[in-house]
Chain A
Amino acid sequence: MSVKKKDSAPAPVDYARAEVNAKLTAKQKIRFLAEMLRIRRFEQTALKYYNQGKMGGFLHLYIGQEAVAVGTVLLMGKNDHVITAYRDHGHALAVGMSMNECMAELLGKATGCSRGKGGSMHFFAPDKNYWGGHGIVAGQTPLGLGLAYGLKYKGLKGCCLCYMGDGAVNQGVYHESLNLAALWKLPVIYIIENNQYSMGTSLERSSAMRSRLAERADGYGIAWDIADGEDLYEVRAKTWNAMQRAYEDSLPMVLEIDTYRYYGHSVADANAKKYRSADEIERYKTNHDPIRLWRKRLIDEGVITDAKADELDESIKEEAAAAAQFALDSEDPAPETIFQDVYWEVDNATEAGQTGRHFFGD
């Protein structure tokens, strides 16, 4: 595809009319609002307990980026898979993980999705085709490729949505993955969630490019596109196109979605307000908030009323509060679980799991 030039920008497209959006029911549209609100209220609740010292480690909040996860993940069919980096709460909730298991994981409880072994950056739900939650920048990019390889190897029509931040494009393994994806025609869609900052370093200070990060795909002969992450309809339409390409032609694609995070790289990011201005953050919150915009759109379309939207929001706040209570009330993992979930063969007490010593030091 060609690079968009400012002086020849096409007239705005109404993505509500795109094929994947035109037949959406009111119920579906309201569900998108609900799913975005679930992410936001979950994280706001998590933040409260993080600040109270109830959680360890890092907490990378997704707030501001909700339309990306909801706009993409909810397009998945049974042979579509998803994998992401450490800012993973949004995708986890969007695939249908419960707030309870996610909140309990944040508190390191036995009832957490990873039994308290993964924490914020490492949520998993293979039964929902959700393969994490990965802590090392771009480390998940070849895994996403492998999920696509697995689909193709087994002759299944599906794709892998592999998410990454704008900072991840500068890791070598992403480029190795792009090369392999193109070389072997693997149905992986790399979704760059461009929130403009790789930790505290702005896009301009970290990435060389002609016009867009996704454009680097040109070097591998991979198609690419960009999407406005504050417009749920556009995110859905662009992602759907990429998915069709993966299904029909088993081809990869790079989709760069412009978005913005309101909080720091993580909550522990003390410089959150030094590398960007408070005005910038406020501008995004006021004019570009994906939830606010979607809610307004649904009201304008007559799909929901203000009162109903408030009611929905309240019920989700209650769900988040209940999840926090569930997590607080849950038991810590038992010390003996430290040695569980290391080796499959040991966990399953197979012959292979019982020959030789697997653990040392006592």
Chain B
Amino acid sequence: MALITYRKALNEALAEEIIRDENVVIIGEEVARYNGAYKVTEGLWERFGDKRVVDAPISEAGFIGMGIGASMLGVRPVLELMFWSFAYVAWDQIINNAGQVRYMSGGLINCPIVIRGPANGGTNVGATHSHTPENAIANTPGLKVVCPATAYDAKGLMKAAIRDNDPVCVMENTFLYGETWEVPEEEYVIPLGVADIKREGTDISLIAHGRAVITALKAAEILEAEYNIHAEVLDLRSIRPLDEEAILATVRKTHRVVLVDENKPFCGVSAQIAATIQEKAFDDLDAPVQRVCSLDAPAIYSPALEPLQLPTPDRVVKKALDIC
């Protein structure tokens, strides 16, 4: 297996799907000639040309709405947001049009689009550029949302998202773009709604999505090395649809849970997971469900302070020790 970056894995997924389906078109700001603000689409315009890779002006509501309309005629647009934080100017298009058009038409219409881009804090760009709206997207029936944590997952989930006949939001992470993982040469697709155990363990479950999975894995190493606590790390991968069975299975195995979530705590993804666990696995718990989220204030700029605001391995370890 080749060791490739998360960025390259996404790039391969996009290229493979462009080749596989003539209706797939990539549209976004700087995706073509500039090769992508984060170089996810690097080389695609050169390979596939103007029709398949399209530079859009800075009009997120305009080009996302346009993508939704085009999808109604069978085009399958993959729409890049330079940051998911910019989705808010297109919120009406994403929530009301992509999210509701199937329902309001009584099932006559479907909207096979992908909206993708990075959604993370921690890069010292201030509160306007640091949002993680997967919880808000998941709160909208009609939309789907996935948050890959590794290059392998990024490629497989992106391909599933493009082939899906419903609108899928893919939330990537700028910290992960340059990280490498093993990715097979042969084609594979990872279905939405299937979680993945990233590390087996018996004493406590760390449940996370996106980059928080990496944080949880680091915490698990510390717990093992310094405290002889064997933590299991469950990567949700997909938020909606959600692999509830995998969540309940790990809880039933370890009886202790720390949820690691780069969302803010109030109505974050972890709040939903906690509700599910207490509802369906209450008797399996030996301790209250704990959460490590981003600190509940707007993302701070200060390079000295911002790393403290996101979940850190130390915070996860501390929470784990509280209940072990």
In whole angstroms, what is the CA distance A153 to B22 when docked? 10
Q: Which of A120-128, A209-217, A249-257 contacts B (4 or more CB under 8 A)?
A: A120-128
Counting CB contacts under 8 A, is A115 at the interface?
Answer: yes
Counting CB contacts under 8 A, is B25 at the interface?
Answer: yes
The residues of B that contact A139 with a CB separation of less than 8 Å are 65, 92-93, 96-97
Give the residues from 106 to 165 in chain A that come closer than 8 angstroms, CB to CB, to chain B. Answer: 112-118, 122, 124-127, 131-136, 139, 141-151, 153-154, 160
CB-contact partner of A124 in B66, B105, B141, B272, under 8 A: B105
In whole angstroms, what is the CA distance A343 to B142 when docked? 6
In whole angstroms, what is the CA distance A114 to B141 when docked? 17
Are B164 and A146 in contact, CB atoms less than 8 angstroms apart?
Answer: no
Counting CB contacts under 8 A, is B307 at the interface?
Answer: no
The residues of B that contact A356 with a CB separation of less than 8 Å are 191-194, 238, 240-244
When each residue 56-75 of chain B gets 1 if its CB lies under 8 Å from chain A and 0 otherwise, what string results? 11010111111111111111
Are B102 and A343 in contact, CB atoms less than 8 angstroms apart?
Answer: yes
Are A145 and B66 in contact, CB atoms less than 8 angstroms apart?
Answer: yes
How far does the Cβ of B192 sit from chain A's closest Cβ, in whole Å?
6
Q: Smallest CB-CB separation from A143: which chain B residue?
A: B69
In whole angstroms, what is the CA distance A146 to B112 when docked? 13
Counting CB contacts under 8 A, is A340 at the interface?
Answer: yes
Q: Known contacts A142-B64, A176-B59: does B104 contact A118 (CB below 8 Å)?
A: yes
Counting CB contacts under 8 A, is B202 at the interface?
Answer: no
Give the residues from 164 to 220 in chain B that come closer than 8 angstroms, CB to CB, to chain A. Answer: 164-166, 191-194
Are A357 and B57 in contact, CB atoms less than 8 angstroms apart?
Answer: no
In whole angstroms, what is the CA distance A147 to B105 when docked? 17
Are A344 and B110 in contact, CB atoms less than 8 angstroms apart?
Answer: yes
Are A352 and B105 in contact, CB atoms less than 8 angstroms apart?
Answer: no
When each residue 270-284 of chain B gets 1 if its CB lies under 8 Å from chain A and 0 otherwise, what string results? 001000100000000
CB-contact partner of A341 in B61, B92, B103, under 8 A: B103
Are A114 and B102 in contact, CB atoms less than 8 angstroms apart?
Answer: no
In whole angstroms, what is the CA distance A226 to B162 when docked? 42
The residues of A that contact B107 with a CB separation of less than 8 Å are 115, 340-341, 344, 347
Are B73 and A115 in contact, CB atoms less than 8 angstroms apart?
Answer: no
Are A357 and B106 in contact, CB atoms less than 8 angstroms apart?
Answer: no
Are B70 and A179 in contact, CB atoms less than 8 angstroms apart?
Answer: no
Counting CB contacts under 8 A, is B4 at the interface?
Answer: no
Counting CB contacts under 8 A, is B285 at the interface?
Answer: no
Q: Known contacts A344-B166, A345-B166: does B104 contact A114 (CB below 8 Å)?
A: yes
Are A345 and B165 in contact, CB atoms less than 8 angstroms apart?
Answer: yes
Q: Smallest CB-CB separation from B64: which chain A residue?
A: A142
In whole angstroms, what is the CA distance A348 to B166 when docked? 11
Counting CB contacts under 8 A, is A177 at the interface?
Answer: yes
The majority secondary structure among interface residues of chain A is: mixed
CB-contact partner of B70 in A132, A150, A183, under 8 A: A150
In whole angstroms, what is the CA distance A341 to B71 when docked? 17
Counting CB contacts under 8 A, is A173 at the interface?
Answer: yes
Q: Smallest CB-CB separation from B142: which chain A residue?
A: A342
How far does the Cβ of B86 sit from chain A's closest Cβ, in whole Å?
13
Give the residues from 278 to 313 in chain A that come closer than 8 angstroms, CB to CB, to chain B. Answer: none
Q: Known contacts A134-B97, A139-B97, A355-B191: does B65 contact A124 (CB below 8 Å)?
A: no
In whole angstroms, what is the CA distance A254 to B93 when docked? 22
In whole angstroms, what is the CA distance A360 to B243 when docked? 12
In whole angstroms, what is the CA distance A357 to B239 when docked? 9
Are B62 and A147 in contact, CB atoms less than 8 angstroms apart?
Answer: no
Give the residues from 242 to 287 in chain A that come closer than 8 angstroms, CB to CB, to chain B. Answer: none
Most B-side CB within 10 Å, residue of A150, A180, A350, A351: A150
Counting CB contacts under 8 A, is B295 at the interface?
Answer: no
CB-contact partner of A142 in B51, B66, B110, B192, under 8 A: B66
How far does the Cβ of B16 sit from chain A's closest Cβ, in whole Å?
18
The residues of B that contact A81 with a CB separation of less than 8 Å are 73
Counting CB contacts under 8 A, is A10 at the interface?
Answer: no
The residues of A that contact B15 with a CB separation of less than 8 Å are none
Q: Smallest CB-CB separation from A362: which chain B residue?
A: B279
When each residue 95-117 of chain B gets 1 if its CB lies under 8 Å from chain A and 0 otherwise, what string results? 01100011111111110100000
CB-contact partner of B105 in A114, A141, A359, under 8 A: A114
How far does the Cβ of B193 sit from chain A's closest Cβ, in whole Å?
2
Are A344 and B57 in contact, CB atoms less than 8 angstroms apart?
Answer: no
Are B191 and A143 in contact, CB atoms less than 8 angstroms apart?
Answer: no
In whole angstroms, what is the CA distance A343 to B64 when docked? 19
CB-contact partner of B141 in A112, A115, A149, A359, under 8 A: A359
Are B165 and A355 in contact, CB atoms less than 8 angstroms apart?
Answer: no
Are A143 and B102 in contact, CB atoms less than 8 angstroms apart?
Answer: no
In whole angstroms, what is the CA distance A180 to B79 when docked? 15
CB-contact partner of B192 in A113, A173, A355, under 8 A: A355
Q: Smallest CB-CB separation from A150: which chain B residue?
A: B73
Counting CB contacts under 8 A, is B222 at the interface?
Answer: no
Counting CB contacts under 8 A, is A5 at the interface?
Answer: no
The residues of B that contact A142 with a CB separation of less than 8 Å are 61-66, 68-69, 93
In whole angstroms, what is the CA distance A148 to B59 when docked? 17
Closest 5 CB pairs of A and B: A356-B193, A146-B69, A142-B65, A176-B62, A356-B241
Binding site for B on A (CB under 8 A): 81, 83, 112-118, 122, 124-127, 131-136, 139, 141-151, 153-154, 160, 172-173, 176-177, 179-180, 183, 340-345, 347-348, 350-352, 355-360
Please name 26 pairs of A and B residues whose Cβ atoms are closer than 8 Å in the assembled complex, sorted by A: A113-B106, A118-B104, A132-B101, A134-B97, A136-B92, A142-B61, A143-B97, A153-B75, A154-B74, A160-B69, A173-B93, A176-B57, A176-B61, A176-B62, A177-B65, A180-B63, A341-B102, A344-B102, A345-B165, A352-B192, A355-B192, A356-B191, A356-B240, A357-B193, A358-B240, A359-B141
